[in-house]
Structure 1
Amino acid sequence: MFVKLLTIVFFFSLLSQFPKSFSQILNFTYNGFRPPLTDISIQGITTVTPNGLLKLTNYTVPKTGHAFYTKPIRGHGIAFVIAPNASLPYATAGPYIGLFNIANNGDNTNHVFAVELDTIRNTEFDDTDDNHVGIDINSLESVKSSPAGWWDKKGQFKNLTLISRKRIQVWVDYDGRTHQIDVTMAPFTKDKPRKPLLSIVRDLSSVLLQDMFVGFSSATGSVQSEHFVLGWSFGVKGEAPRLALSKLPKIPKWDPKKIDIFYNDWMLMASIFFFPFLLISSLIFLVRFIVRRRRKFAEELEDWETKFGENRLKFKDLYFATEGFKEKGLLGSGGFGSVYKGVMPKTKKEIAVKRVSNKSQQGLKEFVSEIVSIGRMSHRNLVPLVGYCRRKDELLLVYDYMPNGSLDKYLYNNPEVTLDWKQRIKVIKGVASALFYLHEEWEQVVIHRDVKASNVLLDPEHNGRLGDFGLARLCGHGRDPYTTHVAGTFGYLAPDHIRTGKATTASDVFAFGVFLLEVACGRRPSQIHSESGERVLLLDWVFGLWNEGNILDAKDPNLGTAYDQREVEMVFKLGLMCSHSNPHVRPTMRQVLHFLKGDAVLPDLSPLDLCQLGMPGINHGPSESGMFTGGSSIVGSILSGGR
């Protein structure tokens, strides 16, 4: 079996100023980690091997491992990970690398700085690939990242494979006066390159508290892996001392010859002495295998599910369709589950299977009932729901597979393949048509609650199809929806939805407005400013350009020159109208569709007109009437409405 293995030699250098009375010794060097380790505490599955390797993780999944220097470091300091405590008890494994969890990731009160060496690509954190180095500040969405590698003396970039089983050197330097952070890598036998792999200027004074602890954090997930630290050098007011590379412990070796010799000897002994025992053991194993297999695929069909008939699929079929939900078939993952590609064994139909967890029995019953009802819908711009499967606390939703993937991969991070304006406006009209069908044309009102680019899939003809109905809710025409809690994605949530907890067709229109700007701009609905570190909402940015008379400057540069300026400008203004904080100002999807098809002309509104719309005679809170009045108005609108 192939196991991911990552080995590093870590240097840390700090240039900073301390009070003259400060006498704490801040320099230490570990040429291997041989006991007794009086100044290093280890937690989780971290161990120290007999030959002096700091083994952060083993084959246990999913688990975390930590190793921290027990004495606090004072001043501006950075290590592989800096945290306010010498342990991270609430951090989780898998994609959170033992640093954060789903609740606190991105929270500025974490006061955590880290340099990640990541061998898994997690799209929810905007990872570039599965072999990268990133600088993380309070979040696993790196402020800067790069494929792993180093710059040789000729100025040529050389790739480094983190899981090559080869030893790697890593240097992290921070200057407390200039606030420059440098991360440098090199093979084990090379000197420190002059040019760093990553370099960024960032003032960490707001991140680091007076007393901080330095150390290492690691975690295992769906892939078995081992992570080793061979040596660690920490220095203040100058470069970290060089490690004695020749004294560092060796990593475990994989010797196929020894395995073959052992295998042959074992077979000889087994054939002579243990054949009867082997036969009995094989029979016992076979019986246990059959029993476990039956338990593995066992399903319990409850009475309330009988009416759904053919909508329920067998877990066994989905298991084999996805080859056991292996990582190679993973199409994407997020807060509501993971999606796998599969091929049904009998029909050879390509499917996409989403796995979600639901421990509420009553909630599960209502959820399945609605999902099956939604599965009866038929529209050319909806991703067909094939059926569902329920097993223990797990729910699996099965959709038709869309070969061109989700729309977001054509919009962000300089994609290799993008869409021209004709293709984008076709997708926009398709999604608008789908929402109109959900809101007005079907037998019940369907509120999607999660309209965004990543939930729009492209079929072979690049038609936009709205999918992922995991959050959708139904209600009768002319009735209020019964939802009383906020659900959806930050950046797409309407202020009225956040404030009341009630999702409506108007909150879907708000999300569609953000989606319009997202597609036309090629930007995410919220981004962290590279210099200030502040979160900037797409709505504010586009409205600011419109207010300056330069709204077309917001268009995606990848569009080129082949586009209709009036149509692009109309989409921008329609997006801002749809995402107005006052739900009474937002058009219905029927009106939106008329505007997009040219059956109706969008009102010729100025930025001031849009700010004043709906105010007279309507009792708005400050979160609604203050929309589009300044650079942070939308942020204030959302926060004041939701707290």
Structure 2
Amino acid sequence: MLPLICPLLFVTRLMITASASDHTTNFVFNGFASANLLLDGMATVTSTGLLQLTEPTDQDMGHAFYPYPLPFKNASSAAALSFSTSFVFAIVPRYPDLTGHGIAFVLSASSDLTPALPSQYIGLFNKSDQGKLSNHLIAVEFDTNYSPEFDDINNNHVGIDVNSLRSVYSASASYFSDGVGTQNLTLASGNLFQAWVEYDQFECLLNVTLAPLELKKPSVPLLSSFVNLSSFITDYMHIGFSSAVGSFPASHYLFGWSFALNGRDVAIDISLLPRLPIIITTPKSKLLIKYGLPAIGGAMLVVAGFATCAFILIRKKIKFAELLEDWEQEHGPQRFSYKDLYIATKGFGEKEFLGAGGFGRVYKGVLPRTKTHVAVKKISHETRHGMRQFVAEIISIGHLRHQNLVQLLGYCRRKGELLLVYDFMPNGSLDRFLFDKPESMLDWKQRLHIIKGVASGLFHLHEEWDQVVIHRDIKASNVLLDSQMNGRLGDFGLSRLYDHGSDPQTTHVVGTLGYLAPELTRTGKATTSTDVYAFGGFLLEMACGRGPVETKALPEKMILVDWVHENWRKGSILDIRDPNLEEFSAVEMELVLKLGLLCSHPKPSCRPRMRLVMQVLDGDAALPEELLADWNESFAVGNDGFADLINLVESAFSKSVVSLTESTGKKTER
């Protein structure tokens, strides 16, 4: 989804313990014996302090909500506030091998969910309101049922739901263990788990983390998704839990719950939690045990032997199963097998993990046959444009050959994932050498060399290749460094192609705030000019050593392009260079800063083409500095202008989410 930088909200953190009579924004329940909750359906608090949402009966549901609605939006900006919550739960099925339905943490405009249905609807929606934007309901589901109608990935998953049970993002239940990697969990096992749900109002990032109760919170979340809750919630929201049972009954229990609005939730005291009740099952017939089992046992051993062999073969086949359709045969060698990529990355192990972003996780690997070092990126299917068209564009981009572009070697398609295979860049991404006090600081000579390299690569994409390639996500983190510290533009997952001389088509707004051209949020057309705007932001962050938007900076310094422009007007443009640079050429630094401003011009007609950018950097053409005097203040981003741009982006993002929710319910682009 589109990562929106939410407006700054300065709210004092209130740290008090919840009671039955206080209307607070922070509370912790170590057991629910004294909790004053709104309960309906099967939900009840047991004598030992357990919150039991469902009983092991058929076709019913239960809800438990905090008794008061909470103010989830900033009064002045109407932006969703940060929150964090954790809770301990257990799902106990009546029959161990027959899992029923799950439990969900809920943010809802209403605490009355009685019109909802049980079974696969988990007590959240019914057939008529499923998928409607008017629901104003966000849920994190811990689901133990596979529902094809909602595109569930399996019967043991965690999903983020927005007004619909078609999760915008989901993953199999698991947790990340440092030094070990991904560890699978079985939700309907009767074991106790702790879950953490956290929303950052500044990054609009929703994280979901899961772990067994006895372990501390993992350092890597299970789900991490950019979603602007401001578009989906009302000023006041109810928080609570929902659960349901269907044909296979189960009990859903909550042992403790902690919540904080605009702050960190208090840790749950595990030592104070109530115990899980002992589940007594009806004993089997003694006659069956005495006479039936020995007779059946012999036959079962023989059958089990054959079944085990078949299971191992089938499981291995399923493990490496891929999606391969007839139209993909034409791509030939550029299609990698999932098995080879699995072996290359050592099963996508944590030791091979390079980093994660809004689109997926990246792993390093060595291909087993050629011993080629590669980087493998796992992303979600591009449902919006059609997989066939998307793969065709990826393969076309794979034919690009340029010394300043990361080579896209091919792809693999499997289940709900698309895997892109790139050349491995040993020095990683450029932002590691610019921000957060890097161990190795780039000097000015290196930075200028990288700038010229990226400009050359972008010029090749725009003007030299057979088709025009619009990158759509140019920034320091998408510039990789090879063994010689040459800058190479990478990550073509958002790129689009069109013929020279043709008119670009309107598409969904994607990219990163701070690099998005003002006209893009209004027209939806990504062009070479919008790429040049992002390249301008890249030039400024290379010269200034900071990102295009710094939410913690002073208001006049928050938006980098405005800060540079203001200093240019005052004649003090060199004052905002990266203070960590000890030696630099004042002439070159001023040229890069002014060129960055020109590329970031609010008017597309004033931005240079990449051919002119190359000529200016090489000293073969003069910088048309007079165009900077035509800076259109109505587009400038600063103070009120920043809020206007936020509203424009949020509006475009909301329209994108609406169309997707109504059509597929799938995860949107960033």
- Maintained 8 Å contact 1:79/1:214: no
The letter for the 2-side match of 1:544 is: E
- Maintained 8 Å contact 1:611/1:629: no
Structure 1 residue 588 displacement after superposition? 1.0
Distance 2:616 2:438 in 1: 30
Does 2:660 match 1:612? Answer: no
Deviations 1:431-490 (A, max 9, x none): 001011111222222121111111111111111100111122222223323354433222
The letter for the 2-side match of 1:138 is: Q
Q: Look up the match of 1:596.
A: 617
Distance 1:439 1:315 in 2: 33
Any residues of structure 2 matched to 1:457-606 within 5 Å, and which? 457-529=480-552, 536-559=558-581, 561-605=582-626
The letter for the 1-side match of 2:575 is: D
Q: Look up the match of 1:297.
A: 320
Distance 2:597 2:561 in 1: 7
SS state at 1:526 partner = coil
SS state at 2:519 partner = helix
| TM-aligned CA distance change 1:98 to 1:356, over 3 Å | closer
Distance 1:583 1:74 in 2: 41
- Maintained 8 Å contact 1:80/1:215: no
Any residues of structure 2 matched to 1:36-435 within 5 Å, and which? 39=37, 69-71=66-68, 81=85, 89-92=137-140, 138-139=201-202, 165=214, 280-358=303-381, 360=383, 363-435=386-458
Deviations 1:369-395 (A, max 9, x none): 222121111111110111112234532
- Maintained 8 Å contact 1:73/1:212: yes
| TM-aligned CA distance change 1:581 to 1:29, over 3 Å | closer
- Maintained 8 Å contact 2:255/2:273: no
| TM-aligned CA distance change 1:638 to 1:290, over 3 Å | same
Q: Using structure 1 for the length normalisation, give the TM-score.
A: 0.62
- Maintained 8 Å contact 2:457/2:489: yes
Distance 1:373 1:537 in 2: 36
Deviations 1:581-636 (A, max 9, x none): 1111111111111111222232444xxx51426xxxxxxxxxx6734496554664
> What is the aligned residue count?
495
SS state at 1:558 partner = coil
Distance 2:14 2:444 in 1: 48
* Higher mean C-alpha displacement, 365-374 vs 29-38: 29-38
Q: Look up the match of 1:626.
A: 634
Distance 1:47 1:410 in 2: 55
| TM-aligned CA distance change 1:629 to 1:458, over 3 Å | closer
Deviations 1:24-81 (A, max 9, x none): 55699988415585537699xx99999768899xxxxxxxx99853345799999965
Q: Using structure 2 for the length normalisation, give the TM-score.
A: 0.60
Structure 1 residue 134 displacement after superposition? 12
Deviations 1:70-113 (A, max 9, x none): 3457999999659786879414479xx9999799xxxxxxxxxx
- Maintained 8 Å contact 1:404/1:460: yes
Structure 1 residue 501 displacement after superposition? 1.8
Structure 1 residue 549 displacement after superposition? 2.7
SS state at 1:287 partner = helix
Distance 1:569 1:336 in 2: 35
Residue segments in structure 1 that go unaligned for 5+ positions in a row: 1-10, 16-22, 57-64, 104-117, 122-132, 143-161, 169-207, 218-226, 235-239, 253-272, 614-623
SS state at 2:472 partner = coil
The letter for the 2-side match of 1:540 is: D
- Taking only aligned residues, the RMSD between alpha carbons, in angstroms, comes to 5.4
Distance 1:596 1:298 in 2: 49
Whose relative contact order is higher, 1 or 2, with alpha carbons under 8 Å and at least 6 apart?
2
Residue segments in structure 2 that go unaligned for 5+ positions in a row: 1-12, 54-61, 75-80, 86-105, 112-135, 143-157, 165-174, 179-195, 206-210, 218-232, 243-252, 278-295, 653-670
The letter for the 1-side match of 2:461 is: L
* Higher mean C-alpha displacement, 329-338 vs 78-87: 78-87
Distance 1:575 1:610 in 2: 11
Structure 1 residue 425 displacement after superposition? 1.3
Work out the percentage of aligned pairs sharing the same amino acid: 46
- Maintained 8 Å contact 1:447/1:474: yes
